[in-house]
Amino acid sequence: MKIALVHELLTMRGGAERVFKVLADMYPEAPIYTLLYDEKKMGDWFPKERVRVAKPPTPYSLLPTPYRYNHHLYLKHFPRMVESWDFSEFDTVISSSSAFAHGIITNGNPKHISFINAPARYLWDRTHDVIEQGSRGILGPIKKHYLHSTFHKLRVWDAEVAARPDILLAASKEVQKRIELYWRRKSQVVYPPINDFWLNRDPTPNPQPPNPNPYFLVVSSLVRYKRIELAIEACNNLGIHLKIVGEGPDRKRLEKLAGNTIEFYGYRSNDELGDLYADATAVIFPGEEDFGLVPLESMACGTPVIAHRIGGALETIVEGKTGEFFDDATATSLQEILQNFDQKNYTKEACQQRAAEFSEEKFTTAISAVVNA
Strand bridging mode 323-326 / 188-189: unpaired
The mean pLDDT of 43-48, rounded to a whole number, is 94
Highest mean pLDDT among 54-68, 132-146, 301-315: 301-315
Q: Is the pLDDT of residue 92 over 60?
A: yes
What are the backbone dihedrals phi and psi of residue 53, each rounded to the nearest 5 degrees, phi first?
A: -95, 135
pLDDT of residue 145: 80
What are the backbone dihedrals phi and psi of residue 292, each rounded to the nearest 5 degrees, phi first?
A: 100, 110
The Cα–Cα gap between 136 and 102 comes to 31
Query: Integer distance in angstroms from the first to the last C-alpha of the chain?
Result: 12
pLDDT of residue 61: 59
- Model confidence pLDDT, tens digit, residues 152-200: 999 999 999 999 999 999 999 999 999 999 999 999 999 999 988 999 8
The Cα–Cα gap between 216 and 281 comes to 5
Environment class of 38 (CB within 10 Å of its CB; exposed 0-12, middle 13-18, buried 19+)? middle
- Model confidence pLDDT, tens digit, residues 59-73: 655 555 655 556 667
Residue 205: CB atoms within 10 Å: 8
| Structural domains of the chain, with CATH | 3-119+162-193+360-372 (3.40.50), 196-356 (3.40.50.2000)
Residue 237: CB atoms within 10 Å: 15
Q: DSSP letters of 82-110? A: HHT---TT-SEEEEEESSSGGG---TTSS
| Half-sphere exposure in the Cβ direction for 34 (13 Å, CA) | 25
The mean pLDDT of 92-107, rounded to a whole number, is 95
- Model confidence pLDDT, tens digit, residues 318-368: 999 999 999 999 999 999 999 999 999 999 999 999 999 999 999 999 999
Does 169 or 135 have the greater pLDDT score?
169
The mean pLDDT of 9-38, rounded to a whole number, is 93
- With vertex at residue 239, the alpha carbon angle to CA 233 and CA 241, rounded to the nearest 5 degrees, is 90
User: Sign of the C-alpha dihedral, residues 12, 13, 18, 23?
Assistant: positive
